[in-house]
Amino acid sequence: MNALIEHAAKLYRVELVRPREAVGRTTVGSIQSGLIFGYTALVDGLVNRILRERGEKARVIATGGLAELIAPESEMIEEVDEFLTLKGLRLIFDRNRRQG
């Protein structure tokens, strides 16, 4: 969204919420659709590609600031854990502390 606003003179910041439909009828609806549905499609497509390449099933957990907004739209995301990255860092910290 920042790139759109900073590099397109006539576009402005919009509330990042799920639009009612994929085909936007206004500038706001179009931006919201592109950001929410477009990003969800990107995530689903990337996960599908990774699963095909690896040839094995994997659990898909979303984390990060927009995870709660994207997950309900996704066909691949099974769970949201906003603290997953921090939990992983904590595990690494604990393991390194025990070894040192």
DSSP 54-88: HTS----EE-STTHHHHGGG-SS--EE-TTHHHHH
**pLDDT band at residue 24 under the 50/70/90 scheme:** confident
| pTM check: above 0.85 | no
Instruction: List the one residue out of 65, 67, 60 whose CA is nearest residue 40.
Output: 67
Domains and CATH numbers, the chain: 2-99 (3.30.420.40)
Q: Say yes or no to pLDDT of 5 above 80.
A: no
Burial class (CB in 10 A: 0-12, 13-18, 19+), 40: buried
43-67 per-position pLDDT tens digit = 999 999 999 999 998 999 999 888 9
pLDDT of 100 strictly over 80: no
SS3 of residue 94 by DSSP: helix
pLDDT for 15 equals 83
Query: Does pLDDT of 9 surpass 80?
Result: no
Average pLDDT over residues 17-22: 88
